[in-house]
Every structure is written in structure tokens, then in C-alpha cells.
Amino acid sequence: MKKRLIVAITGASGAAYGVRLLEQLARIKDCETHLVMSSSGLLTAGHELGMSRRDIEAIADVVHNVRDIGASIASGSFRCDGMAIAPCSMRTLAAIATGLADNLIVRAADVMLKERRKLVLLARETPLNLVHLRNMTTVTEAGAIVLPPVPAFYNHPRTVNDIVDHTVGRVLDLFDIEHEGLVSRWTGLRADTATN
């Protein structure tokens, strides 16, 4: 059966995570992607990646307007495997935590929670204040997975793309989607490099 995932891009720094996730999902034969971007997400993608709306939308199978609360993904009857918000701004996180479904991104996220579907939030901010932390606790208690895109260094990344790919690979793992070359799997320290 075809996988169907919603990918949202919001205005936090890190548009590369959402774009790279779309690119990886586009390589999977039996996967349909539904994209929704906030206006701030589009602005950030333009600044950080030099990509236009058209460039990003061309990677997705279906594109939804963030203001279209009547879109298919706004309903629990829309069958899908889950949603990733990459990156997830603190504004979007707060709206999800409080159930303020005032745009399609937050409404679709709310649907994931109420239908007990997987919702992965690449929450992007630093340092975190107490409000951020409480909102993360709230969405976690509601069933979301908060996955801050924190780089791993055990895989010895050489480029920014290596760092982005590792996080995207971890997102794909959460949805049980096979991929190659994105994540260096930890196999333990060799005896000659272990320290006491």
C-alpha cells in the first residue's frame, strides 16, 4: 500500500530539513507527499536555500495552501501515515500545544494527534525558554514526537548536508521508511578507541 505523508515547512531556520525530506520521499516509489508551507517558511527557504515557492512545490506530489482549512489534510477521514513539520517554529509548536488550529499546518497537526497518527516536530530554537519546554512537554503528552535537529558527531560529518541528511534519515526511521546512506548506524566503540 502506498505511503502518504504530510510535510510542513514553517518559518524557523532550517528549511533544508523540510526540502531534503521531500527530496528523499520523492525517491520512494510508493510514497505520496502532501506539502504545506507557511509564508514565513517560504521566506526562510528563499533566504537560506535560494529556492522559490515553485522550486519547493515541484518536489511534492500534492501542494496545499496554508490558509485552506477546507483542504483534504484538514480532516481525520484523510488517510495518511503521519506528518512531519520540518522545521517547526516555536509559534507553530505553541499553536499545536494549545489546539489553536488557525491555519492548515496546525489543523493537520491537530488531526494527527486526535487520530493517533504519527506527528514529528523538528522544533528549531536555541536557547529554549520555559514556555518552549512546556509546549514540548504538552505536545509529547498528546502523542507527538519532538525531534530537535541536533547534529550527531559520532558519524564525523564533513558538510552541512551530512548533518541535514542524518536528521532526515532519523525522521524517515520514525515512519519506517527505508533509506540508504543518510544515517551512519551506531555499532559501538571499537575496543582500541574506548576509554575508561
> How open is the CA angle 168-174-177, to the nearest 5 degrees?
75
**Would you say residue 141 lies in a domain?**
yes
Average pLDDT score over residue span 30-48: 97
Average pLDDT score over residue span 43-51: 97
Give residue-wise pLDDT tens across range 141-176. Answer: 999 999 999 999 988 999 999 999 999 999 999 999
**Would you say residue 135 lies in a domain?**
yes
**Would you say residue 183 lies in a domain?**
no
Can you give the pLDDT at residue 194? 54
**Would you say residue 195 lies in a domain?**
no
**Would you say residue 44 lies in a domain?**
yes
Give residue-wise pLDDT tens across range 4-16. Answer: 999 999 999 999 9
The structural domain count of the chain equals: 1
Average pLDDT score over residue span 170-189: 90
**Would you say residue 181 lies in a domain?**
no
Q: Has residue 80 got a pLDDT over 60?
A: yes
Average pLDDT score over residue span 96-110: 97
Can you give the pLDDT at residue 190? 75
- Which set of grid coordinates corresponds to residue 93? 509548536
Residue 23 has phi, psi (to 5 degrees) of: -60, -45
Question: In CATH, what number is assigned to the domain containing residue 21?
Answer: 3.40.50.1950
Range of the domain at 110: 3-174
Can you give the pLDDT at residue 134? 98
Give pTM, 2 decimals.
0.94
**Would you say residue 74 lies in a domain?**
yes
Residue pair 33/3 in contact by the 8 Å Cβ criterion:
no
Residue 90 has phi, psi (to 5 degrees) of: -65, -30
HSE, side-chain direction, 13 A CA sphere, residue 69: 7
Assign 195 a pLDDT band (cuts: 50, 70, 90). low
3-state secondary structure 25-48: HHCCCCEEEEEEECHHHHHHHHHH
Can you give the pLDDT at residue 88? 98
**Would you say residue 35 lies in a domain?**
yes
Neighbouring C-beta atoms of residue 111, cutoff 10 Å: 21
Burial of 133 (0-12, 13-18, 19+ CB in 10 A): exposed
